[in-house]
Amino acid sequence: MPRRIDIELTSRGSDGTFTWRAAGAKQPKGNVAESMVPDGAAVGTVLRAEVESGLEGVEIVALAAKAGPVEEKPANRIEVLGTPKRGPDVSVTLAPGSRRRRDGDDRPGRRDRRRDDRDRGEDRGDRPPRGEGGPQREGGPRRESGPRRDGPRRPSGDGPRTGSTDRRAAKPPTSTTHRNAMLATLGPEQLPVAEQLLRGGLPAVRQAIAEQAAKSTSGPVNSDAIVAIAEQLLPAVNLASWKDRATSAQAAGKELRLRDLRAVVAASRAVVLDDEGRAMAKALQDSLTQRVTALRDDWVARITTALDEHRVLDAIRTANRSPEPATRLPAELAVRISEAAGAAMAADVDPEAWLQLLDVVVESSVRRTVKPAGIPEAAETQEAARRAAGSVPELAKLLGLPIPPPPPPRRAPSRRVMAGGGGRPATSL
């Protein structure tokens, strides 16, 4: 649900976006598009913002200029008389999860040498390894750590994360064009109702009515009339909100994550669309279909290439990782994978390689059509074949066993609530 806070513009990027932080905070919180910033605002301006908190962080919905400067509340302070003690010019704070500096690890000049080596682009692989002429700590060789990362260093908190250093995909700025146009057509009595609908729909309107009734001293609030206005405005508000989402999705293009694009397309089915909305929905649906089809074609091509190069294990692993949950293998490709897997699982194959093939075959969708050519004589392969006979019926024939029924589908454990509705829910056995 949206809430209002005061933010301060901290910097302006070359792409037309501003970085912002909460008024009084130390570090920037995120980005906001230049189109949302009021005219005359510059770096250092404090604005009133409506924000929404989601799974991916705080998102700005609207910005407005403040009526006056931010008034800081006086803090209770105790004045200490005397000569102030001068602290060190440089303070070091260890980040959470980082390695502590060991004793003897702060020898003079050590950090400077490392920084100079990085600036010159020297590779650590050119230095002699430790124990073969390289420097060692007193008391024995240093414990080996994980692999060194040669990628770009993570930026500090002085600005927004950009480029490949941000693991999460950048969320496109939300457009407010259609919402503003819709609000401009409303009357004074409809405007506050529409704002509540934009914040949280009808539940937000009812909550605002309840809060107003609790504070009112002039008499009861006509809630039925307000709810009637809200129900009348709800289709237009939902349409304007969806159009803004669709506009942002179209502007993002291929940079938009596939699940976000799918969410916008699915939301169009719950909105009463006009001609413009139907055109936008069709364009987004075509874009979604094109991207899903491209992923599926690439998936099929990688499987076909692996089979052509006789990499059966890679082909089955790729087939097990479909780009979409509803994506199915083409019939001819499924037959080809089944035949290639059966021929690769021969009795003269290395037992370790045979077990790897068995593991991926059991997880595949063609497991009941695979006909292994043989089973190695090793005890572990024989035992693994017996355990997997329910998933791969041909293994039972090779072992001389009756074909067992297929394993039951996996189901999540159901939960039941204790009598009376109290206590913790128990898992049924």
Structure tokens at 200: 């949280």
Which residue matches tokens 């719950």?
270
| Other Cβ atoms closer than 10 A to 3 | 12
Question: Do 6 and 66 contact (CB within 8 A), yes or no?
Answer: yes
For residue 54, is it within any domain? yes
pLDDT at 84: 56
100-146, pLDDT tens digit by residue? Answer: 444 444 444 555 555 555 555 444 444 444 444 444 444 444 444 44
Residue of higher predicted confidence among 71 and 336? 336
Residues 275 and 239 occupy one common structural domain:
yes
Rounded-to-integer distance, Cα 59 and Cα 1, Å: 11
Residues 248 and 342 occupy one common structural domain:
no
For residue 111, is it within any domain? no
From 13, 47, 65, the end of a domain falls on 65
Residues 282 and 214 occupy one common structural domain:
yes
Which residue matches tokens 């130390």?
26
Smallest CA-to-CA distance from 204 within 424, 3, 364 is with 3
For residue 412, is it within any domain? no
14-38, pLDDT tens digit by residue? Answer: 777 888 788 777 666 778 887 778 8
Quick one: residue 230, left, alpha or beta (phi over 0 = left, psi -120 to 50 = alpha)? alpha
Strand partners, 59: 52
Residues 216 and 322 occupy one common structural domain:
no
Smallest CA-to-CA distance from 333 within 357, 299, 360 is with 299
State the total domains in the chain.
Answer: 3
From 14, 31, 65, the end of a domain falls on 65
What does the DSSP assignment read for 21-56? EETT-SS--EEEEGGGSPTT--TT-EEEEEEEEETT
pLDDT at 312: 92
Question: Do 209 and 221 contact (CB within 8 A), yes or no?
Answer: yes
Q: How confident is the model at residue 352 (pLDDT cuts 50, 70, 90)?
A: very high
What does the DSSP assignment read for 81-95? -SPPPP--S----PP
Rounded-to-integer distance, Cα 41 and Cα 64, Å: 10
What does the DSSP assignment read for 235-284? HHHHHHHHHHHHHHHHHHGGGS-HHHHHHHHHHGGGS---HHHHHHHHHH
Record the pTM. Answer: 0.49
